[in-house]
Structure 1
Amino acid sequence: MTPIMSKQTLDFDAAARSLCVGLPVSIGASGLARELSAIAPDRAFRDVLTRGGWFRLGGVIDATGRHIADDLTRWGESELAKHEDDLRALYDACAGSGLRATRLLGRTHYLVAVTGTQAADFVQVEIEELQETVSHVLFEGHVPGSLEELFEAPEAGAATNEPVSVPFYALRRITNVSELLKRIAAEKPEPQTVHRFFDAWQASSAGQTTHFSNHWVLAVREYLDRYRQSIQQATPVAALNGPSPKFLSAYGAKGLALAEALQQFDRQAGYPMAWFFHMLTTKSVPQAVAYAVIDDVQDGFAYLPERDVKVLRNWLHRPFGF
């Protein structure tokens, strides 16, 4: 069930959508943050991550570049229904027409604003930077076996990526992270992995040093379960716009050598216990390191604060990861 949003949330959502329509992409992610802060004066938005290199299906254009449809999937389903679900008949009717599929090339800008002192106290705005380009000619070569095959660009030809439109912004999602975690908790009685990740952050030295949203965003996904109920999932994504931190240690390192490797990783990431959270997500630190650290603790090495040792012991008792 879609949650009921407050009037303030709805107003911000509408204002953000309108903002995206009127802004040129030349302002960049930092410009987006300034504009969002202007329409929500009680929030100071910052751009923390841009993820690119993805695309999704676009629409249909004719041989002259005129738009026939904005949604390729709906258009294909409608046209197939007109031909009594006969792909051969649809192919015969459209072959040689010059119809072309388009795709949307995209990047997602993540912008955040802190709303409190707890790790989950922030609002996350995802704004997509999109450009519609030509993907491939439809109904060319052979009768497709399915609509999915029709929509997919042939391997040999690949997508032409010829621009159809100028780049533009579109609002993807606004997430109040604290409320999202409450909704996820209400869907299932037992603590989910994402809750345990936030709890570990809050309890660790990381949570005492910096805010979660300075270093992480959430990849949010919504789907329907077998009972047609809406289920939401959230996965932490490291807010890295440059090289990932490197764990520089030989296998089996212990004691001072291991302590130095962990501290070096944390310095690269910019906060304490970074190695632990990257171990759970990016896998750049092997899980064997956690066991080696506890062995060191038991041998009398005290290079971790007690709060971090407790977080680590809790994880060893009930491991989790993404």
Structure 2
Amino acid sequence: MSKESTAWTEYCKSLSPAIAGACARTTVSAGPTALVKALDTALEDWKFRHAFARGGWYRLGGVVDGSGERVSDNLETWLEQELAARDGDIDLLVDDYADQELYATRLVGQTHYLTACVGDAHEDFLLLEIEDLQEMRAHRLFVGEPGSLEELTDPRSGSEKLQPLDLPFYTFRRLQHIGALLQRMLVQKPEAAPIHRMFEDWTKSSAGQTSAYSNHWVIATREHLDRYQQPIIRAQPIATLAGEPPTFGAAATTRQLELHQALTQFDRGVGFPMAWYFHMLTSKAVPHWVAQAVIEDALDGYAYLPPRDLEVVRHWLHAPYTL
């Protein structure tokens, strides 16, 4: 990894305390605007903007009793310890706690993505992830004859009536320099990943000539160990478009003027040129046959895309990828 990439990684780490403090001082009820203002005060060098929020997820929490008193902050660890104390006998564990009113909790929340441009390249931006979380009382433990730890921790019955235990709160999750992230990925695996190719295509196309990548996309990342215990980074672009992409209004036989009109209408609905191409790669809102049809039209003398965009599409046809 280059010195510049390493420096950005360390710099992002150095900002963590200031970001965590801004989160602690801001109430979720005040909304993302208040969060951005708190960050502006804490991080004077950069101006973050709220780009996107994604919710509908939860993670396991702890254990509380019937009156809401906390038994443990970590449900999985507590259950594993209690099971180990009984030599792995889950039936004995269930019997010992059958008469106690204990509940699992969940942290229900959403992730807020905020961006700040720090240079001229499209990958030269900071991506800040802040979660707003609320701990909820979920299912009652040790009822219904659970036969495994999985059934105890997260039965997924769909019938749990979640009850809030406290007010929602902001918590800092991660700050990354995207250029440094892309370099880290190339160190792990020299072959370019789809996300590298997307940035290359954005830079070469009319999209990159018109707008910054971070105006329209954020990147969800996760890291895991492969079978050799080596870290592997996965990077998935997420469109910051409000709602779903517009419907692409063309059939597979559509060509020339009608196809051009369909592409233009889609691009206008999303808000940048070549939106149809990038959503073909990411959201499947546009079918793959469109790329072939665009090149066939150009070969027939009906070239409605600029040469730079035709080259991007042509290269994709020779070496396709999706995200």
Using structure 1 for the length normalisation, give the TM-score: 0.95
1:84 to 2:87 alignment:
yes
1:118 to 2:121 alignment:
yes
Q: Which amino acid aligns with 1:236?
A: P
Report the 3-state secondary structure (helix = DSSP H, G, I; strand = E; otherwise coil) of the residue aligned with 2:287.
coil
Alignment of 1:4-43 (within 5 A): 8-43=11-46
| In 1: Cα distance, 2:23 partner to 2:74 partner | 20
Asked if structure 2 preserves the Cα contact closer than 8 Å seen for 1:135 and 1:153, the reply is no
Asked if structure 1 preserves the Cα contact closer than 8 Å seen for 2:13 and 2:175, the reply is no
| In 1: Cα distance, 2:33 partner to 2:251 partner | 39
Deviates more, 1:174-183 or 1:36-45: 36-45
| In 2: Cα distance, 1:4 partner to 1:224 partner | 24
| In 2: Cα distance, 1:271 partner to 1:224 partner | 37
**Deviation at 1:69?**
1.1
| In 2: Cα distance, 1:278 partner to 1:37 partner | 32
Please point out which of 49, 52, 61 is paired with 2:52: 49
Distance change (3 Å), C-alpha of 1:291 and 1:233? same
Aligned match of 1:165:
166
| In 2: Cα distance, 1:41 partner to 1:247 partner | 42
| In 2: Cα distance, 1:281 partner to 1:15 partner | 34
Please point out which of 65, 69, 73 is paired with 1:70: 73
Asked if structure 2 preserves the Cα contact closer than 8 Å seen for 1:12 and 1:39, the reply is no
Deviates more, 1:163-172 or 1:4-13: 4-13
Aligned match of 1:98:
101
| In 2: Cα distance, 1:34 partner to 1:209 partner | 28
Q: Deviations over 1:229-257 (max 9, x none)?
A: 22111011111233422211233110000
Alignment of 1:183-262 (within 5 A): 183-262=184-263
| In 1: Cα distance, 2:309 partner to 2:24 partner | 46
| In 1: Cα distance, 2:182 partner to 2:10 partner | 21
Deviates more, 1:23-32 or 1:288-297: 23-32
Consecutive unaligned residues of structure 2, counting only runs of 5 or more, are none
Count of aligned positions: 319
Asked if structure 2 preserves the Cα contact closer than 8 Å seen for 1:225 and 1:231, the reply is yes
Asked if structure 2 preserves the Cα contact closer than 8 Å seen for 1:153 and 1:159, the reply is no
**Deviation at 1:6?**
5.8
* CA root-mean-square deviation: 1.6
**Deviation at 1:154?**
5.3
Asked if structure 1 preserves the Cα contact closer than 8 Å seen for 2:91 and 2:147, the reply is no
Aligned match of 1:130:
133
Aligned match of 1:287:
288
Asked if structure 2 preserves the Cα contact closer than 8 Å seen for 1:127 and 1:173, the reply is yes
| In 2: Cα distance, 1:4 partner to 1:118 partner | 17
Aligned match of 2:312:
311
Distance change (3 Å), C-alpha of 1:8 and 1:192? closer
Deviates more, 1:210-219 or 1:54-63: 54-63
| In 1: Cα distance, 2:144 partner to 2:10 partner | 53
**Deviation at 1:204?**
0.4
| In 1: Cα distance, 2:112 partner to 2:210 partner | 25
| In 2: Cα distance, 1:231 partner to 1:43 partner | 29
Q: Deviations over 1:80-128 (max 9, x none)?
A: 1111111011111111200100111111111000111211111001111
| In 2: Cα distance, 1:155 partner to 1:10 partner | 40
Asked if structure 2 preserves the Cα contact closer than 8 Å seen for 1:50 and 1:241, the reply is no
Q: Which amino acid aligns with 1:27?
A: A
Deviates more, 1:30-39 or 1:272-281: 30-39
Q: Deviations over 1:55-88 (max 9, x none)?
A: 1111100111111111111111111111111101
Q: Which amino acid aligns with 1:151?
A: T
**Deviation at 1:225?**
1.0
Aligned match of 2:149:
147
Asked if structure 2 preserves the Cα contact closer than 8 Å seen for 1:134 and 1:159, the reply is no
| In 1: Cα distance, 2:247 partner to 2:162 partner | 35
1:302 to 2:303 alignment:
yes
| In 2: Cα distance, 1:212 partner to 1:194 partner | 12
Q: Deviations over 1:189-232 (max 9, x none)?
A: 21111101110011100001000000000010100111212211
4+ residue runs over 4 A deviation = 3-7
Asked if structure 2 preserves the Cα contact closer than 8 Å seen for 1:218 and 1:236, the reply is yes
Asked if structure 2 preserves the Cα contact closer than 8 Å seen for 1:104 and 1:132, the reply is yes
Q: What is the percent sequence identity of the aligned residues? A: 47
Q: Deviations over 1:157-181 (max 9, x none)?
A: x221111111111111111100000
